[in-house]
C-alpha cells in the first residue's frame, strides 16, 4: 500500500520531521495539532478551552486538505497537561464533533511542544467509492 503526504497552509507547518497527515489507502492519520496560529506560528489561547478550539480548527484544516471532515474521523487522541482541564476540553471538543462522536482516548502528559496545554490527533476513514 502506498502512502501519501497531506499538507495545507491553513494549518501550522510541522515543527519537526513529520507530516501534517499521511494517507494510506482509505485511512488518513493526522498528526497532533496544538493551538498554533497558522499565520504566525505562535501559540494562541490563554486556557485549555481556547487552545483546544484552535487545535481543532487546525485539525479541521488538515482534514479538509484530505477532502474529509470530522464526520469521517473514527478515533482521536487528546493529550492534556492537566487532567483537571478535562471538563473545559470536553466543552470545546463537543462543539466540533458530530453525533455519534468518534472513539477517543485522553492522556495526561508532563509537557507538550511550545508549552501548549492540549494536543489533539485523529484517524479518519475515506468513504468507500
Split at pLDDT 50, 70, 90, the class of 101 is very high
Q: In order of start, what are the domains of the chain with their CATH numbers?
A: 3-125 (3.30.1330.40)
Query: Is pLDDT at 126 greater than 90 in this prediction?
Result: yes
* 68 within 8 A of 127, measured Cβ to Cβ: no
Q: What DSSP string runs through 25-52?
A: TTEEEEEEE-SB-TTT--B--SSHHHHH
Query: Is pLDDT at 121 greater than 80 in this prediction?
Result: yes
Query: Is pLDDT at 85 greater than 90 in this prediction?
Result: yes
Split at pLDDT 50, 70, 90, the class of 99 is very high
* 66 within 8 A of 93, measured Cβ to Cβ: no
DSSP-derived 3-state class of residue 19: coil
The grid cell for 58 is 487546525
Dump pLDDT digits (tens) for 19-43: 999 999 999 999 999 999 999 999 9
pTM assigned to the model:
0.96
Q: Which pLDDT score, from 0 to 100, does residue 128 have?
A: 87
What backbone phi and psi angles, to 5 degrees, belong to 84?
-65, -20
Amino acid at each position: 500500500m502506498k502512502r501519501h503526504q497531506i499538507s495545507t497552509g491553513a494549518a501550522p507547518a510541522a515543527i519537526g520531521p513529520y507530516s501534517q497527515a499521511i494517507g494510506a489507502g482509505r485511512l488518513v492519520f493526522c498528526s497532533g495539532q496544538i493551538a498554533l496560529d497558522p499565520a504566525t506560528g505562535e501559540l494562541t489561547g490563554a486556557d485549555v478551552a481556547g487552545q483546544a478550539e484552535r487545535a481543532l480548527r487546525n485539525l479541521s484544516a488538515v482534514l479538509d486538505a484530505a477532502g474529509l471532515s470530522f464526520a469521517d474521523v473514527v478515533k482521536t487522541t487528546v493529550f492534556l497537561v492537566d487532567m483537571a482541564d478535562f471538563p473545559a476540553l470536553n466543552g470545546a471538543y463537543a462543539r466540533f464533533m458530530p453525533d455519534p462522536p468518534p472513539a477517543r482516548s485522553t492522556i495526561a502528559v508532563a509537557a507538550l511542544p511550545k508549552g501548549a496545554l492540549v494536543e489533539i490527533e485523529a484517524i479518519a476513514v475515506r468513504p468507500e467509492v
